[in-house]
Structure 1
Amino acid sequence: MLKVEDVHVYYGAIHAIKGISLEVPQGQIVTLIGANGAGKTSTLNTICGFIKPKTGKIFFEGKDITNLATQDIVKQGLTQVPEGRRIFANMPIYENLELGAYLNRNKKEVAQRMEKVYAKFPRLLERKNQLAGSLSGGEQQMLAMGRALMSNPRLLLLDEPSMGLSPILVKEIFSIIKELNEQGTTILLVEQNAKMALSIAHKGYVVETGRIVLAGEAKELLESPEVKKAYLGG
């Protein structure tokens, strides 16, 4: 579904992404794991069109999207839930969700999608008129995911969904991610919690200093001595 071919990204003179290539098959969860600053978020932001690569190509469902504007990439069916959630704190929950469907002018369709999001995240329905900034960290993550789902994506990019959450909420968020995948959404997951990410993923890539240093089936990576030592606490 998604193919990234030998992508290089620079921030000025800094060579942030050094020839990353990866594939996300339809219907799977693929995870990128690695330390802070490894280049995981930069990779997602390049796929989404926020950053343009100096060289390399990105294909979504066979179509070259390397130089498309972000809104045109969203129209193709690819949406990102950003690191840090980036909700609109001073707006009610329902307005945050409506913004996720800003490309859709069909009010009936938008209402149907909103119902689906509320069915998946009942807490958002209970609090729909509350300001988004009054939600807990876990609820804000649910809102960010719900907002992304409003664009009806076929591929969802998730950037550090467990960041700053309690262990109980982390389990809940990962359970939701797995459920979304089982219902047909393909997922590319960037996550520092390597153990949780690999436990729900089909495939994994280990990113270090802008390069992929290991790749394989998620179960294999969970058992890999290198991965255990570097990311799983031995």
Structure 2
Amino acid sequence: MLLELQNIVAGYGSIMALKGISLSVPEGSIVSLIGANGAGKSTTMKTIMGLVSPRDGEIRFKGEPLAGTKPYQVVHEGISLVPEGRQILQNMSVEENLYLGAYQRSDKEGIAADLKKVYDRFPRLEERKKQFGGTLSGGEQQMLAIGRAVMARPELLLLDEPSMGLAPIVVQEIFDVIKDINGSGTTILLVEQNAKKALQIADYAYVMETGHIVLQGKASEVAANPQVTAAYLGGKK
């Protein structure tokens, strides 16, 4: 198993956002984590990345303990995060943002090759490579955030709400890219409010409610669950 969370308790101050969650991400898969606002999805991502310290439980990556590791060390271990809200550097150019994703690497030829792959995947970024990140559209900023994350050559890519605030045509493009990145060998953990899209591309899915995992299974089975359909897919019970 590439990533395992066992009974993770985590939160902010006295508020526990995660109340003993367990989940697994097999190598080569796309695993989706769906749920309403405030369910604890983003806290899960931040806890994996070391941005929030767990109060209890265990995180293992490639069989090794990860809890307590600093965020920059987590990146070095092979995990990258595309954060909610993109969080690109507005006053740096597109290309500078991308190079920043590779800041821990020293293989110049490999970095150049990966930069070309990002531009091949996102031609609009190459067209705008000298522009400041803050001048890009929302969709282009999301492409930049994904491009920046893959420049670290992660084994596991965490995506936190990649479709938030984007036009439907751009949403489809982003999900096509997620499938492409996975097809190239990168394992993906996807947090997404657009449950329908997330379940369409995922192999396995977890449903979170108020800090608990309340349902899990193959993505197709979760999508067919009447409770999930009613709560997240716009259907009826």
Structural mapping, 1:182-221, within 5 Å: 182-221=183-222
What one-letter code is carried by the residue in structure 1 that aligns with 2:181? Answer: L
What one-letter code is carried by the residue in structure 1 that aligns with 2:60? Answer: F
Aligned equivalent of 2:106: 105
Residue 179 of structure 2 corresponds to residue 181 of structure 1: no
Using the alignment, how far apart are the partners of 1:116 and 1:221 within structure 2? 34
Residue 25 of structure 2 corresponds to residue 63 of structure 1: no
Which digits, 9 at most, give the CA deviation of each residue in 1:73-107, with x for residues without a partner? 11111100000000011111000001001111232
Instruction: Give 1:109 deviation, angstroms.
Output: 2.2
Structural mapping, 1:219-230, within 5 Å: 219-230=220-231
Which digits, 9 at most, give the CA deviation of each residue in 1:109-154, with x for residues without a partner? 2212211111111111111001111111111000000000100001
TM-score w.r.t. structure 2 length?
A: 0.97
Gaps of 5+ in 2: none
Secondary structure of the structure 2 residue equivalent to 1:192: coil
Instruction: Give 1:183 deviation, angstroms.
Output: 1.1
What one-letter code is carried by the residue in structure 2 that aligns with 1:39? Answer: G
Using the alignment, how far apart are the partners of 1:149 and 1:183 within structure 2? 11
Structural mapping, 1:1-234, within 5 Å: 1-234=2-235
Gaps of 5+ in 1: none
Using the alignment, how far apart are the partners of 1:106 and 1:174 within structure 2? 29
Which digits, 9 at most, give the CA deviation of each residue in 1:189-211, with x for residues without a partner? 00000000000000000000000
Using the alignment, how far apart are the partners of 1:12 and 1:68 within structure 2? 20
Structure 1, 161-170 or 99-108: larger mean CA deviation? 99-108
Secondary structure of the structure 2 residue equivalent to 1:27: coil
Instruction: Give 1:10 deviation, angstroms.
Output: 2.7
Which digits, 9 at most, give the CA deviation of each residue in 1:10-49, with x for residues without a partner? 3111111000100000000000000001000000000000
Structure 1, 156-165 or 124-133: larger mean CA deviation? 124-133
Using the alignment, how far apart are the partners of 2:54 and 2:137 within structure 1? 36
% identical aligned pairs: 57
TM-score w.r.t. structure 1 length?
A: 0.98
